[in-house]
Structure 1
């Protein structure tokens, strides 16, 4: 890695290396941009990128981001910096963004808050096209097709959730198990654990699935009682909500 690279000069170095065919220097600058993408967005140099260079960066699996919404906002901020000449690039840049993995609610709030009518209409048209393609959405969810835009980037932040389960003191009897309703999240960027709102019903052996940005918990067992209840965690509202119960109580063991 080239010394003295920082968020204020890395794009300048990247553009210089690209113009002079300095491939090694370009790779180093590019790696820095990917690793510090959120810091680079706050620098004036970011807005000097051409739409081709920006599109190439936004396509990368290596962008170190918290969530895909940050990539969308970066593209729109770049366009808004010079609306008159850059508005026409909205469709090509948004193609670089994985819209299906951004919360629909978050997308709609963001579009509604845009001040430029042209941008607002353009983004609404793009979002409407995604909504109308139900067959693609279904096939992607079922794993029948491998659509890259439906998958998080390789270097995007991954959160690991640990939900429910049971605990007992060392050397305690099996009957002394304590059923847990806790939920904790491990942040793979910060390497930290965070305590989140607990389940509505403590249980172990839960069936858990992540779908469309939410976490579903179904069935399980607590104190020899097998549950048919189910609930869903909404990360935007930070709470568990009840959903229709299973047709039969279930426990995987």
Structure 2
């Protein structure tokens, strides 16, 4: 301004618009001292001034401050502010926060007050962290209903990014039943009818007017099940003829296909498994009668397994769960004895330490985490063999180290498969010395402390692998004893069948077979 041929260079007084005297004073002091006091109250004004005056260091300081302030209530405002002042790094950080917290952000007033163009842009993102497309559909409808008289004319623009083939008809029906605006309801029905007709015409005439991405889950809504390790016995083989597996198979829950991934470092069965921060941990287990203390961690991005710190004690038949920032290994065989200890693992320190003791000795139980509590379910007492199965259920609070005995299952089960889904815990199959391999299923409600029997599986299964994902309960493999010789049957058949339970319809559906029959394997989803 002063060193070029601009009119201001000859003026004695220049008015700088859009910057208050207080803000300019702070900027001027920063230029001379390199120090500035940034707060929530002045950050955006200082950033705008620094951007106008081309002070990149100060823009960076303010951007870093605003990044630390990001939350569900202000992230959209910071995103729009960063866009207006071309702060690309801050804009990218805000966009990442919006995507990662989309369900919560979509209920904020900031979202409901956005212009249609920006809402459509957000809903179009492939990177939304959602459990299902229903959350995107609900966000779109919430925005429309915020001002239906004005916004119903925008319904086609708002619904275009929604991947309707992936939204359950029951969810759409539920919305229509409760929709308070008749205009929105009619417009939605018309949009869905037009969309279905377009798909039908395209399918009939082999046209590609429907964009392929509309029929595929978004990047972070794609869930894969990892089935790891286990063992099988050749037909006619006996217990001491088992083949321990190191294979890892990934199941695409949308396309219903299996692919092989990098194998375990050590073949093992009867181990503990859990997921923590997108990484799979496997601990303990056994192979050829040798009990492991070895722990491995799998990174799905690199498709590699890594050695981690060993357990304090070799364990087989243990439970492994993640709660907040720690992992917990419970019970199992320690040598020839049943272990009564709980070990805690710190992933940051890569270190195990003894954490607590278990009130009940048991083996071949199932362990699952739900809302910060660890549930230990069923199993067998130290006598093994006949009539040793347990219906006992206990919960453990890893913070207070307190145990609580809960309502027992309706049926005693050793080797049950267990998973949490929709706030409930499901106990599946297992073994009973009275009934043999079980096909029965029970659901536990923590609020009511009550177990409810559900329709049985298609197959009886001892030691199945169970995962709850996408609103469905997946059951894989397990074994079936060829005789009533108790838990340690001299002959058993590993299963390659897979089925899932839908709580909404209370029905079971058979799915593609496993790549390899397996029992006592681990299963998780990512």
Q: Which stretch shows the higher mean deviation, 100-109 or 123-132?
A: 123-132
Tell me, yes or no, if the aligned pair for 2:123 and 2:136 is still in contact at 8 Å.
Answer: yes
Whether the 8 Å CA contact 1:64–1:157 is kept in 2: the answer is no
**1:109 paired to 2:367:** no
In proportion to residue count, which structure has more strand?
Answer: 2
SS at match of 1:3: helix
- Correspondence for 1:233: 501
Matched with 1:210 is none
Offset at residue 92 of structure 1 (A): 0.9
Q: What residue in structure 2 maps to residue 208 of structure 1? A: none
- Counterpart pick for 1:128 among 176, 193, 208: 193
State whether structure 2 residue 459 is matched by structure 1 residue 201. yes
Distance in 2, matches of 1:173 and 1:99, equals 52
Q: Distance in 2 between matches of 1:68 and 1:188?
A: 23
CA distance in 1, matches of 2:231, 2:190: 48
CA RMSD of aligned residues (A): 4.6
Shift of 1:31: 0.8
Out of 120, 130, 136, the residue aligned to residue 55 of structure 1 is 120
Q: 1:158 aligns with which of 207, 210, 223?
A: 223
Q: How many angstroms does 1:150 deviate by?
A: 0.6
Contact 2:232–2:242 (Cα < 8 Å) also in 1: no
User: Is the contact made by 1:157 and 1:189 (CA closer than 8 Å) also made in structure 2?
Assistant: no
Residues 167-182 of structure 1 mapped to structure 2, 5 A cutoff: 172-174=239-241
* TM-superposed deviation, 1:252: 8.1
Residue number in structure 1 paired with 2:253: none
CA distance in 1, matches of 2:218, 2:101: 15
Match runs of 1:51-90 below 5 Å: 51-90=116-155
Normalising by structure 2, report the TM-score: 0.36
C-alpha distance in structure 1 between counterparts of 2:203 and 2:279, whole Å: 32
Deviations 1:202-245 (A, max 9, x none): 369xxxxxxxx97999xx995599x9x997632523541589xx
**Cα distance per residue 1:98-137 (max 9 Å; x no partner):** 1101112222222232121111111111222333323656
User: Paired residues, what number?
Assistant: 229
The 8 Å contact of residues 157 and 187 in structure 1, kept in 2 or not, is answered as: no
SS in structure 2 at match of 1:155: helix
Q: Does the 8 Å contact 2:76/2:94 carry over to 1?
A: yes
Of the structure 1 ranges 83-92 and 186-195, higher mean CA displacement relative to structure 2 is found in 186-195
Q: Deviation at 1:5?
A: 1.0
More displaced stretch, 99-108 vs 65-74? 99-108
Are the equivalent residues in 2 in contact too, given 1:7–1:33 (CA < 8 A)? yes
Equivalent pair of 1:101/1:151 in contact (CA under 8 Å): yes
Could you say what secondary structure the match of 2:117 adopts? helix
Q: Per the alignment, in what secondary structure is the counterpart of residue 21 of structure 1?
A: coil
More contact order relative to length (CA 8 Å, sep ≥ 6): 1
Segments of 5+ residues of structure 1 without an aligned counterpart are: 177-184, 205-212, 244-250
TM-score of the two chains, using structure 1 as the length reference: 0.69
SS in 2 for 1:233: strand
The structure with the largest alpha-carbon Rg is 2
CA deviations on 1:120-173 (whole Å, 9 max, x unpaired) are: 111111222333323656999xxxx971011111122625276xx9778xx932
Alignment CA distance shift 1:63-1:175 (3 Å)? closer
Range that drifts further, 191-200 or 79-88: 191-200
Please give the alpha-carbon distance, in whole angstroms, between the structure 2 residues aligned to 1:53 and 1:117.
25
Task: Say which SS state the counterpart of residue 120 (structure 2) adopts.
Answer: helix
Cα offset for 1:36?
1.1
Unaligned runs of 5+ in 2: 1-63, 244-273, 281-321, 323-367, 369-418, 421-425, 429-456, 463-470, 483-491, 518-526
For the residues of structure 2 that align with 1:190 and 1:64, how far apart are their CA atoms? 17
The answer to whether the Cα contact below 8 Å between 1:17 and 1:26 also exists between their aligned partners in 2 is yes
